[in-house]
Structure 1
Amino acid sequence: MDRFVRTLMAAPALSAAQEQLLARQARDGDLEAREALITSGMRSVALRARMLGLQGEDLRDAVQSGAVGLIRAVDRFDPDRGVRLSTYAWRWIGAEMMRTPHRELPLDDIEPLADGPVAGSCGPLLAPLTAVEAQVVVLRFGLGSQGSSPMSRRAAADHLGLTISQVRTIEGKAMRQLRRGLAKVGDRAPHQ
């Protein structure tokens, strides 16, 4: 794992009381309190990036994008609603990470797959997809090794650390891309 990300994940978490106090101070304009919330929240950003299965430069890019989402969450966070900042920020962090395109990874680098590698005949079909898109398709349609069963959107979302809405969006985008690719193959096929 990247040393920078490892450092972020090792940072101590704030207690609920500390977090509430800092959030109230930040809401009142205290820039140091805001900075402390952002610094402590970077642990969630690193965790979310790792859950996407990214490595190297893509991992660092995702952390950078997630930091933007974290800052937005800190600026909108209401400590009086009874929710921890990490819970509130999770959606904001993920949304920014998904908005930023990452380099496509070969299918061998996708992790974690449902039950192992993608079935041999499906690998070339999924090759044009990004790693996250391929993960969603593999999980949703049970394309892993023998015995893999399709997952619901909720189960796939839980497995990948995404929201159900994000899984639905990613799945839709991947399916449109796959349909376009298959249409091109169909256009090239000899007509009878």
Structure 2
Amino acid sequence: MTEIAVRVSAERLEEFSGNDLEDLCDATEGAILDGGGFGWVTPPARHVLEAYWRGVLLVPERHLFVGRLDGTIAAAAQTLRPARNNEAQAFALQLTGHFVAPWARGHGLARAIVVAAEQAARAWGFRSINLDVRDSQSAAIKLYESLGYVRWGTHPYYARVEGDIVAGHFYYKNLSETEAPKQEIPLS
């Protein structure tokens, strides 16, 4: 059997070009339908998704990281800086909206995006990253824990999915006490 090599990359996206917006919306819809839609339970209309992603690029406190499989956006995550008036938590960045399209899983995109976000956070001077995740997302939990994120709490009434209340977990990673993971893929 012959293995076909795929190109995997992770980068911060500051503007859309080519098919980026369409690819990102396709990946988002796939992730939502598969249960990993970072808050969405059912995919919104395409124009709503497009407006959402365009808006992410306009908000100064948000940064969009994407994962590409053979050049096609197949995964994403966002970092969220604290509000400017929140001096007490100005050292901590929030990682949110992390997903990989079902068809692109198993190639390391989820890890690559988190590592890219961590590298950017360190470069921007942040000392901590916080995130939360639904209890049902075991692959994401394993990834975060393998990268050194520490679970500090569980909320038993975290979200409602298809009428059921599900638990969620809260994590942090102290960037000043951990080394940057080795990134084996090119970062733009």
Q: Which structure has the bigger radius of gyration?
A: 1
What's the TM-score, normalizing by structure 2? Answer: 0.27
State the TM-score, normalizing by the size of structure 1: 0.26
Which structure shows the bigger proportion of residues in strand conformation? 2
